[in-house]
């Protein structure tokens, strides 16, 4: 399974929407605490890494490695918010 960045809030909401699947109500609270501590796109910030194969300007997402020709505030592949450019 490929790693995906997800919103922690969306996961918690999905758990709350399906609480009938949990045998014990206290399990829901335990999952919420665990999820809040996991890295998610809510907290994670990436950087565009300047990558120039054959002198063609491309930028790689530091989180998922996706190549883009033009930087933006978010990676179009994984959705992480970007901080800026990191030159290698």
* Domain regions of the chain by residue span: 1-43, 45-87
Q: Please name the residues in contact with 31: beta carbons below 8 A apart, sequence gap of 6 or more.
A: 12, 15
Would you call 28 helix, strand, or coil by DSSP?
Answer: helix
Read off the tokens for 65. Answer: 């490695």
pLDDT of residue 14: 83
Q: What's the pTM value of the predicted model, to 2 decimals?
A: 0.52
Q: What is the mean pLDDT of residues 59-77?
A: 90
Residue 87: pLDDT above 80? no
- Confidence category of residue 88, pLDDT binned at 50, 70, 90: very low
Read off the tokens for 56. Answer: 């063609």
- Most confident region among 1-5, 23-27, 65-69 by mean pLDDT: 65-69
Is residue 64 a contact partner of residue 6, using CB atoms and an 8 Å limit? no
Element (H, E) at 87: strand 81-87
User: 6-53, pLDDT tens digit by residue?
Assistant: 677 777 788 888 888 888 878 888 887 877 777 665 667 899 998 887
């Amino acid at each position: 399974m490929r790693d995906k960045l997800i919103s922690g809030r969306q996961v918690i909401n999905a758990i709350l929407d399906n609480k009938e699947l949990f045998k014990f109500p206290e399990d829901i609270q335990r999952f919420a605490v665990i999820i809040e501590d996991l890295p998610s796109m809510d907290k994670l910030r990436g950087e565009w890494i300047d990558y120039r194969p054959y002198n063609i300007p491309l930028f790689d997402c530091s989180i998922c490695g996706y190549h883009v020709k033009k930087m933006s505030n978010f990676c179009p592949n994984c959705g992480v918010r970007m901080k800026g450019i990191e030159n290698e």
